[in-house]
Structure formats: C-alpha cells, structure tokens
Structure 1
Amino acid sequence: MRTGNEPVTARSPLRMRFWLSVWGLIWATFGTIAFALVGRPEWAAACGVLWLIITADMAMILRHIHQGPHYQPGRDIPPYEPPYEPPRTG
C-alpha cells in the first residue's frame, strides 16, 4: 500500500537484519582470527572494530524484536492506515 507517507509508517525488516548481522559477525570473527594468525595486526584490528559494531547493531536489533509487535509487526498485523487529511479546497 503506497500512500506517500512511508517514512512515517515504515517498518524495518528486523529478522532479515538479524540474519545479515549473524553473517557479518561470522565473517568479522573469521577475519579477526585469520589476520591475527597470519601476522597482520592492522587488518585484525579493523575486523575487530567491525566485529564490535556488528555486535552493537545485533544487540539493538534483538532489543527491538523483543519489544513486540509495536516495533516489529508480524504478517498477521495489517499496515498502518495513513492519517486522515481532509480534502483541500482552493
């Protein structure tokens, strides 16, 4: 349903973001360990920083998922109705 007010009623695909974060977390962990073992501390540090960012994002995503359907509606909850605006005259 396109109404023109999507920024107001937008929903975030939190479950998809969660699984993408899991994928990123696996690769950042792998990169940190691999670069540390090969002797590339700069790249290991970069992957470690990325790992921290992904972990913080995943914590926020999980918090929003646990807050319930107000923040993450399921398929059984219909889209929000756009606010009523009376017709303009003139």
Structure 2
Amino acid sequence: MALDWSGLGEVALVSVGATVGVVFVFALGVRLLSHRDEDEEPDGRPRLGGGRRRPSAPARAVAGLCFLACAAAVAYGLYLIIPQFH
C-alpha cells in the first residue's frame, strides 16, 4: 500500500487555507457589524448624551456579503461531502 504524500499535502494545504479564509471573511463581517462610534469612551462605555449608533449601510451590506460568502463555502463543502447532492 503506497501513500501519495504529495496528494495528502495538497489536500491538507487546501483545507487549512480554506478554513483560514472562511474564518477571516467571517471575522471581517463581525468587525464591520461591531462598528465603534465616536460617542464612546475608550473602554466602550457610552458618553453622557450619546448612544450607540448602527453601522453605516455600506458596512452592513459588506458584512452581509461576507456572511453570504461563508454560507456559500459551507454549502459547497456539504455538496462535496454528501453524495446524494451530485
């Protein structure tokens, strides 16, 4: 029984790269949604008279695209794993 080491290394490299990519895109989406407005103290407490504002519309749109890309990667992985989907 021979083991194709180059194939094993390639699969390991692609899986680690895809995992890091999906985690990075998800973290980017979370970062865009956790917008810190200028009405907060450095420790995160709201200043007197200033409440938290929502992230801007472009930030919410890009965050939604990031989450959609993560969901697409998960769906594609399930498609590859489950033979009934082929």
Which bin holds the TM-score, normalised by the shorter protein? 0.3 to 0.5
TM-score in terms of structure 1 length: 0.42
Relative to its length, the structure with more helix (as a share) is 2
Higher RCO (CA-CA < 8 Å; seq separation 6+)? 1
TM-score in terms of structure 2 length: 0.43
